[in-house]
Amino acid sequence: ETGVTQSPTHLIKTRGQQVTLRCSSQSGHNTVSWYQQALGQGPQFIFQYYREEENGRGNFPPRFSGLQFPNYSSELNVNALELDDSALYLCASSLERGKHTQYFGPGTRLTVL
Amino acid sequence: AQSVTQPDIHITVSEGASLELRCNYSYGATPYLFWYVQSPGQGLQLLLKYFSGDTLVQGIKGFEAEFKRSQSSFNLRKPSVHWSDAAEYFCAVYNSGAGSYQLTFGKGTKLSVIP
């Protein structure tokens, strides 16, 4: 059974640029959630996708957007990068939406200069 | 909205000593609670979870946690710490809003282990 995978591992961008992060969910899981973890903080919920539709969003601006594909993999897109976007971005998948355990990938470390 | 508080930012214990990491939550009904562990630069690994039933929950790597409704707590324990347990530990609770269940995390407790 393959776990949650994320790419790339690390990324360096400059302010104002756009970035796309990718996540492959665990086999059999149809729900993907994205979290942002700033240095020294706990992860914060960005949004969740269920069967290709956004299914809930945290307190993040619209320049954070996402997609989920028919195979349930997902992308997180961030436009107009700001310095404060520097963080570890974590993807988690779960069997279904609702109160199911979320399993996390290794994360993508984004640095904005 | 539900919230989680981890009162201890950093804890240092000697190898072989017992460990207790504190977690307090705020929620009106029965919460769904989790403990995750994060090694430096890594993602989160699930240690254990509480959904219902027995209030003492066993997890991986010899960890256990006890749900105490009267104290709004879900403390993580281990009887004998190993050097490899040095990591950051996060308590989390399921928050429901706008049709989705998302995890709300505490700020974490960093565990250092002295040989």
Q: What DSSP string describes B35-80?
A: EEEE-TT--EEEEEEE-SS-SEEE-GGG-EEEEEGGGTEEEEEESS
Q: What is the residue whose two structure tokens read 């769904």? A: B32
Chain A partners of B97 at a C-beta cutoff of 8 Å? Answer: 56
Closest CA to B10 of B109, B114, B113: B109
Assess contact for B16 and B83: CB atoms under 8 A: no
Nearest-CB residue to A42 (from B42, B46, B105): B105
* Separation between Cα atoms, residue B82 and residue B66, nearest integer Å: 21
pLDDT of residue A1: 58
Chain B partners of A104 at a C-beta cutoff of 8 Å? Answer: 36, 43-46
* Separation between Cα atoms, residue A6 and residue A22, nearest integer Å: 6
pLDDT of residue B96: 76
Q: What does the pLDDT look like over B49-91, one tens digit per residue?
A: 998 888 999 999 999 999 999 999 999 999 999 999 999 999 9
Which residue of chain A comes nearest to B96, CA vs CA? A98
* Separation between Cα atoms, residue A94 and residue B99, nearest integer Å: 15
SS3 state of residue A55: strand
CB contact under 8 A, B44 and A104: yes
Chain B partners of A106 at a C-beta cutoff of 8 Å? Answer: 42-43
pLDDT of residue B2: 80
| Residue B7 bridge partners (DSSP) | none
Q: What does the pLDDT look like over B6-55, one tens digit per residue?
A: 999 999 999 999 999 999 999 767 789 999 999 987 889 999 999 888 89
SS3 helix, strand, coil % of chain B, rounded to 5? Answer: 10, 55, 35
